[in-house]
Chain A
């Protein structure tokens, strides 16, 4: 069925990197983009960036531009989000979410969401 399945919980030290995966199934992977959205404990949703599964084109929020990289692997229908130089305020639940924008820009109607990956940054 239509779903996005994310990798498991991560615990990292400040300054480290984390790489979260998101595996798509139940639809044509390259016909959509994927957004990454995070939610700190008790806080709202924050958009991090978008990647086209069609051509690998990326758009990142300014806040994360220098620290995030999003990639795709069409052979496994997976999208990856790597966040570097982790800080304590990066502690959050990270979601991947499908986007109709598939080539140039996101069209932020996120209709399928992963289950979320908890990333904890602590010394």
Chain B
């Protein structure tokens, strides 16, 4: 069981917007602004999409945005495209002795 809770799957049609949630506790997501989001296509290494809750690395489309409210972080993808179909993972720093925790991952299907 992962420390951060994500929905197993979400789906949307091209052009729509979707949001993936990542729920933790006050010891991780709620307590620090060190939440990141990663995209992973099959057979590929993960790619950083959002860091520090809402910052986009250079080169990442502005269709990707992040936010946080309390113990839940969210990744929103607007204007869905076929290439967005992938697995998405959140992670966070945690004050527990484990230091870094990942969510279980969310499979995004573009219909």
Which residues of chain B come closer than 8 Å to A108, judged between CB atoms?
A: 34, 36, 91-93, 100
Majority secondary structure of chain B interface residues (helix, strand, loop or mixed): strand
Q: CA of A63 to CA of B98 in the docked complex: distance in angstroms?
A: 8
Chain B contributes a number of interface residues (CB within 8 A of A) equal to 25
Which residues of chain B come closer than 8 Å to A52, judged between CB atoms?
A: none
**A114 an interface residue at 8 Å Cβ cutoff?**
yes
Query: How many whole Å from B44's CB to the nearest CB in chain A?
Result: 9
Q: CA of A59 to CA of B57 in the docked complex: distance in angstroms?
A: 25
**A46 an interface residue at 8 Å Cβ cutoff?**
yes
Interface size class of A (residues with CB under 8 A): 20 to 34
| Binary contact track B19-55/A, C-beta < 8 Å → 1, others 0 | 0000000000000001010101000011110011000
**B104 an interface residue at 8 Å Cβ cutoff?**
yes
Query: How many whole Å from B3's CB to the nearest CB in chain A?
Result: 9
Binding site for B on A (CB under 8 A): 35, 37, 44-47, 50, 59, 61-63, 95, 97, 105-111, 113-116
Binding site for A on B (CB under 8 A): 2, 34, 36, 38, 40, 45-48, 51-52, 57, 89, 91-93, 97-105
